[in-house]
């Protein structure tokens, strides 16, 4: 009896306690949720990255790759759901939620004119994209006339051309002379642009296969802080994406000085018809032809053709498919770099050439398929396979008669490549306790098979071989990226990325004593790159961030397999920054970051010489400031100012300058956009003078340029004009300290060699829409 009495007493005390403990769980089970889809009003396509929140409530979320969102753990009641995206009209919808209910909501957003007062500075789904607001404003306001202009959309990035219009540009960003892309990763629709172990230079990023009018979005990431970027993303990365659909078809013609001509066709293929699905679909084709003789004394005879075909379809409520194919071909003559003395002594003009046989040809064919699937438990699986066939041949002569006083020093670099790749990401929204947790798991591989060649030539006639062989290089990578809301204001992003590289090269190289000798080897190397970032939403108008991470860039396989001693196949980069994106007044958006970046070893394979050179470790720090201000409803002001200080770590003072690394750059402009279709922009570009070699004995000359663009757009047509270098300034686009010898000179001379920049240039264009 005592047993039952004691247990009865225990239950009298335990039952109330259990009820109290289970009450929160019962209440949690009775909370409501809001889920739905956001689409574009014109195309019907789902919109990713739309900010979704409840007015007066902390936190929020953003739509995923299928335009879907979910807000959970909500108390019963009536709310105002707020939907916002740059370039779209802000929309609010009243929603009443019952206890335990999961309410569905479909929202359609309409495109609207830019209003900086509506721009938000938070990025709930991708906090690492701290330049999102700045990038969207630039895409809306800045005129885009070429593929080169697309790269200039990256705040603080400068480019220079030095071997004709068909060659990839030299890239300067965050104190880096990144050559043609060694320290800046570029992609378009998930397709990598940078080429590993390229015939001309590591990370070679030829972006000319992109038609500028087809580009819809740019995401900019400075520094090595984002897990999904691996190789080359040390100074940063730029992700471009093309339009999913056309608002209208278009035919465009352009004519300008120096026999410049361009034709463009954008054609909507489906309209209201359906191909694979009864849901939202779009398909379009784009084609572009360019020709110019350019401003050099010797006609450039530059020709380029681009073609693009893209399909995007919502196959079911949970599956979307994107298919893309493109083709690009180009050939040109080039005047190349010329030494100062050749101009000062009157041998040639500023626009003359010492070897007019320079130039080349290139082509690239791409195919890509992206399948995006919504999975249970608020997850999205995105899978992409891609393929590129690439061919490249470039004739250059940098030293003229230094090595061969009879035939000259012309070289021919060739690259015939097949590029295969796969990228898969598993993206999921979850909770850790009461806090939101966003998880991304990524897995990918890239395989480059190429026939590489470096040969000596004269007037494009091959004389002999310097090196030749077959490249097999594969990268296998995986990463885990976690974003956790620690509080309603503080967000933590932590990630870990692992990369394995297999370098293999089988070929031959020239030896002065033995002729052609084997250049063969296989090396496997790995790199683990952790990232840690913090974001604090001080107020709706102020976001603070602290970011850090390890990154790397790979070195050329030919240098890796023949390396001895301390050669590093994957030199590490350690970066950190602190900054803010804020709005001191509603119509002013500012992004500022104080950063530092240490590179373990700036090892470079010189494709021009077939040798490997080491600059040793480097250390850089700097300050980036970008501001966008809406002066009136129709007038906008923008400015980027970028300061950097970089030095070689192991070199003595006075001999530790990083060649061609800019210390100050600035880009800005004033833009007028009227609702009646009239728009105009006056823009400037400035880069300072800087050391061209380690001891600063030779300096690359800075410049300041003014450009202008104007257009008048109506529903059925557009007229426009572009003027570059309004002041007709004499400026040097690409500049190097080069040891060269002219015909008849007894010895070589080390001095500034340059490619002259564009003189005053004007171009007119006309478009018809249908």
CA-CA distance, 330 to 436, in Å (whole number)? 49
Range of weakest confidence among 245-249, 564-568, 584-588, 606-610: 606-610
Model confidence at 595: pLDDT above 70: yes
pLDDT band at 101 (very low <50, low <70, confident <90, very high): confident
Range of weakest confidence among 142-156, 192-206, 654-668: 142-156
Of 48, 82, 112, which closes a domain?
A: 112
Same domain, 18 and 137: no
Residue ranges of alpha helices (H) inside 142-298 are 147-151
Dihedral through CA 212, CA 189, CA 71, CA 54, nearest 10?
-10
Model confidence at 12: pLDDT above 50: no
Q: Is residue 215 part of a domain?
A: yes
Model confidence at 660: pLDDT above 50: yes
Of 81, 112, 143, which closes a domain?
A: 112
Same domain, 78 and 18: no
Same domain, 8 and 78: no
CA-CA distance, 373 to 367, in Å (whole number)? 20
Domain CATH code at residue 578? 2.40.170.20
Q: How many helical (H) and strand (E) elements, i.e. helices and strands, does the chain have?
A: 5, 45
What's 737's DSSP letter?
E
Say if residues 393 and 360 touch (Cβ distance below 8 Å).
yes
What tokens does 741 get? 């010898």
Q: Is the dihedral of CA 652, 658, 660, 662 positive or negative?
A: negative
Q: Is residue 706 part of a domain?
A: yes
Same domain, 591 and 708: yes
In this structure, the strands spanning 749-756 and 338-339 are: antiparallel
CA-CA distance, 705 to 684, in Å (whole number)? 5
Same domain, 22 and 37: no
Count of domains observed in the chain: 3
Note down the domain range covering 509: 132-769
Q: Is residue 124 part of a domain?
A: no
Domain CATH code at residue 64? 2.60.40.1120
Same domain, 85 and 201: no
Same domain, 678 and 701: yes
CA-CA distance, 664 to 662, in Å (whole number)? 6
Range of weakest confidence among 464-473, 562-571, 655-664: 562-571
Same domain, 551 and 483: yes
**Residue 431 has what pLDDT?**
87
Bridge partners of 32?
Answer: 74
**Residue 376 has what pLDDT?**
87
Model confidence at 27: pLDDT above 50: no
**Residue 16 has what pLDDT?**
45
Q: Once rounded to an integer, what is the mean pLDDT over residues 234-253? A: 94
Same domain, 13 and 100: no
Q: Is residue 494 part of a domain?
A: yes
Q: Is residue 628 part of a domain?
A: yes
Dihedral through CA 646, CA 651, CA 657, CA 661, nearest 10?
-50
Q: Once rounded to an integer, what is the mean pLDDT over residues 65-86? A: 85
From residue 262, alpha-carbon distances to 88, 104, 198, 291, 604 in Å are 32, 48, 29, 6, 37
Same domain, 92 and 221: no
Q: What share of the chain is helix, strand, coil (3-state, %, to 5)?
A: 10, 55, 35
Instruction: Tell me the whole-structure pTM to 2 decimals.
Output: 0.89
Model confidence at 9: pLDDT above 60: no
Taking residue 250's Cβ as centre, other Cβ atoms within 10 Å add up to 19
Q: Once rounded to an integer, what is the mean pLDDT over residues 659-683? A: 94
pLDDT band at 29 (very low <50, low <70, confident <90, very high): low
Q: Where are the beta strands (DSSP E) in 29-145?
A: 32-40, 51-54, 61-62, 68-74, 77-84, 91-97, 102-109
Range of weakest confidence among 551-555, 563-567, 625-629: 563-567
Range of weakest confidence among 612-626, 639-653, 655-669: 612-626
The pLDDT tens digits for 727-744 are: 999 999 999 999 999 999
Say if residues 503 and 473 touch (Cβ distance below 8 Å).
yes
Mean pLDDT of the chain: 90
**Residue 556 has what pLDDT?**
92
Shortest CA distance to 181 belongs to which of 172, 189, 560? Answer: 172
pLDDT band at 565 (very low <50, low <70, confident <90, very high): low
Range of weakest confidence among 150-159, 296-305, 346-355, 514-523: 150-159
Which contiguous run of DSSP H or E holds residue 141? helix 132-141
Q: Is residue 385 part of a domain?
A: yes
Which contiguous run of DSSP H or E holds residue 9? helix 2-29
* Residue bearing tokens 């495109």: 111
**Residue 740 has what pLDDT?**
93
Model confidence at 28: pLDDT above 90: no
**Residue 138 has what pLDDT?**
84
Same domain, 605 and 590: yes
Of 84, 112, 140, which closes a domain?
A: 112
- Which of the listed ranges 113-127, 510-524, 581-595 does the model predict with the highest average pLDDT? 581-595
Same domain, 350 and 292: yes
Q: Is residue 322 part of a domain?
A: yes
Q: Once rounded to an integer, what is the mean pLDDT over residues 525-545? A: 95
Model confidence at 606: pLDDT above 60: no
**Residue 113 has what pLDDT?**
76
**Residue 18 has what pLDDT?**
37
Range of weakest confidence among 16-30, 70-84, 297-311, 477-491: 16-30
Q: Is residue 252 part of a domain?
A: yes
The pLDDT tens digits for 390-433 are: 999 999 999 999 999 999 999 999 999 999 999 999 999 888 98
Bridge partners of 709?
Answer: 681, 722
Q: Once rounded to an integer, what is the mean pLDDT over residues 124-136? A: 81
Range of weakest confidence among 153-167, 247-261, 336-350: 153-167
CA-CA distance, 661 to 232, in Å (whole number)? 17
Taking residue 161's Cβ as centre, other Cβ atoms within 10 Å add up to 19
């Amino acid at each position: 009896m005592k047993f039952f009495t004691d247990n009865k007493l225990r239950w009298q005390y335990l039952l109330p306690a259990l009820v109290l403990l289970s009450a929160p769980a019962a209440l949690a089970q009775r909370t409501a949720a809001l889920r739905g889809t956001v689409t574009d009003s014109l195309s019907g396509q789902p919109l990713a990255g739309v900010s979704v929140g409840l007015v007066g409530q902390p936190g929020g979320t953003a739509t995923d790759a299928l335009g879907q969102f979910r807000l959970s753990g909500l108390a019963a009641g009536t709310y105002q759901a707020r939907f916002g995206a740059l370039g779209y009209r802000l929309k609010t919808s009243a929603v009443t939620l019952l206890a335990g209910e999961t309410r569905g909501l479909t929202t359609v957003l309409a495109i609207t004119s830019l209003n900086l007062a509506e721009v938000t500075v938070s990025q709930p789904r991708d906090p690492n994209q701290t330049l999102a607001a700045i990038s969207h404003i630039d895409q809306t306001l800045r005129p885009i006339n070429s593929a080169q202009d697309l790269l200039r959309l990256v705040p603080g990035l400068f480019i220079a051309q030095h071997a004709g219009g068909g060659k990839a540009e030299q890239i300067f960003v965050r104190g880096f002379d990144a050559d043609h892309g060694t320290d800046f990763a570029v992609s378009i629709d998930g397709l990598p642009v940078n080429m590993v172990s390229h015939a001309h230079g590591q990370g070679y990023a030829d972006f000319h296969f992109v038609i500028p009018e087809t580009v819809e979005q740019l995401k900019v990431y400075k520094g090595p802080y984002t897990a999904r970027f691996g190789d080359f993303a040390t100074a940063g990365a730029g992700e471009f994406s093309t339009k999913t659909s056309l608002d209208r078809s278009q035919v465009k013609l352009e004519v300008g000085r120096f026999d410049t001509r361009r034709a463009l066709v954008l054609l909507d293929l489906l309209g209201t018809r359906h191909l694979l699905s009864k849901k939202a679909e779009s398909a379009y084709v784009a084609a572009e032809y360019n020709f110019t003789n350019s401003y050099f004394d010797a006609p450039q005879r530059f020709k380029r053709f681009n073609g693009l075909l893209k399909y995007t379809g919502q196959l079911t409520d949970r599956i979307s498919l994107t298919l893309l194919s493109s083709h690009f071909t180009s050939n040109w003559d080039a005047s190349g770099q010329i030494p100062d003395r050749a101009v000062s002594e009157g041998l040639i003009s500023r626009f003359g050439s010492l070897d007019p046989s320079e130039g080349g040809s290139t082509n690239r064919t791409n195919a890509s398929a992206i399948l995006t699937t919504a999975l249970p438990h608020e997850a999205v699986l995105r899978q992409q396979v891609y393929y590129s066939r690439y061919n490249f041949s470039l004739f250059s002569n940098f030293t003229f008669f230094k090595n061969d006083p009879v035939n000259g020093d012309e070289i021919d670099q060739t690259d015939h490549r097949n590029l295969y790749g796969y990228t898969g990401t598993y993206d999921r929204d979850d909770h850790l306790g009461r806090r939101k947790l966003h998880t991304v798991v990524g897995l990918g591989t890239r395989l480059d098979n190429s026939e590489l060649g470096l040969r000596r030539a004269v007037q494009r006639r091959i004389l002999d071989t310097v090196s030749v062989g077959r490249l097999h290089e594969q990268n296998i990578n995986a990463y885990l990226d976690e974003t956790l809301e620690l509080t309603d204001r503080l967000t933590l992003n932590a990630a870990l990325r692992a990369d394995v590289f297999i370098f293999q090269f089988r070929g031959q190289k020239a030896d002065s004593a033995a002729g052609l000798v084997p250049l063969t080897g296989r090396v496997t190397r790995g790199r683990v790159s952790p990232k840690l970032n913090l974001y604090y939403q001080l107020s709706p108008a102020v976001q603070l961030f602290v970011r850090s991470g390890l990154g790397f860039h790979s070195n050329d396989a030919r240098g890796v397999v023949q390396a001895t001693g301390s050669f590093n196949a994957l030199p590490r980069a350690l970066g950190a920054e602190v900054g803010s994106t804020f709005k001191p007044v509603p119509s002013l958006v500012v992004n500022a970051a104080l950063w530092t970046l240490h590179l373990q070893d700036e090892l470079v394979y010189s494709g021009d010489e077939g040798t490997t050179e080491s600059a040793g470790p480097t250390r850089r720090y700097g300050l980036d400031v970008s501001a966008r201000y809406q002066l009136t409803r129709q007038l906008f002001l923008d400015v980027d100012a970028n300061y950097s200080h970089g030095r070689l770590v192991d070199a003595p003072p006075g001999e530790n300058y990083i060649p061609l690394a800019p210390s100050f750059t600035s880009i800005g402009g004033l833009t007028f956009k009227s609702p009646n279709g009239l728009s105009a922009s006056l823009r400037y570009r400035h880069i300072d003078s800087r050391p061209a070699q380690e001891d600063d004995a030779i300096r690359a000359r800075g410049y300041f340029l003014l450009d202008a663009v104007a257009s008048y757009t109506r529903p059925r047509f557009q007229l426009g004009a572009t003027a570059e270098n309004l002041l007709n300034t004499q400026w040097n686009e690409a500049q190097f300290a080069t040891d060269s010898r002219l015909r008849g000179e007894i010895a070589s001379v080390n001095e500034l060699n340059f490619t002259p920049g564009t003189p005053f240039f004007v171009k007119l264009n006309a478009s018809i829409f249908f």
